[in-house]
Amino acid sequence: MEYQPQPIDTAAVNLPAALETLTEQLARHNHDVWAQGRMAEGWAYGPARDDSKKLHPCLVAYEELPDSEKDYDRRTALETLRAIVTLGYRIVPPPV
């Protein structure tokens, strides 16, 4: 059977601008979790990806990533937040 992705339809969700900081925090977290997993598997930083040597150019701090990689992490975080709202949950900021 061929895999047929069926993501949650989040097209109708418009998140408030106040969640931009949370989106960025989650994007950084996603990158750190990914990097930690790669490093645990023996991967290290390399200027170009080399699967045989387990080198990857994105094994750097989030701030040092190219914009294209940061955008990928941001889109993942944003889509996760939209899915949470679509599923009926509310995202409430902590008290100041």
Structural contact between residues 81 and 92, judged by C-beta atoms closer than 8 angstroms: no
Cα dist from 83 to 15, 40, 58, 68, 87, whole Å: 11, 29, 27, 22, 6
Instruction: Say how many residues make up the chain.
Output: 96
pLDDT digits (tens, 9 = 90+) for 46-94: 999 999 999 999 999 999 999 999 999 999 999 999 999 999 999 988 8
Predicted local distance difference test score (pLDDT) of residue 84: 96
Q: Which of 39 and 17 is assigned the larger pLDDT?
A: 39
Tell me the C-alpha distance between 45 and 79, whole Å: 28
CATH level 3 topology of 17-86? Globin-like (1.10.490)
Backbone φ and ψ for 44, nearest 5 degrees, come out as -140, 170
Residue 78 and residue 16 in contact, taking contact as beta carbons nearer than 8 Å: no
pLDDT at 80: 96
Q: Where are the beta strands (DSSP E) in the chain?
A: 44-45, 55-56
Task: Taking residues 19-25, report their average pLDDT.
Answer: 93
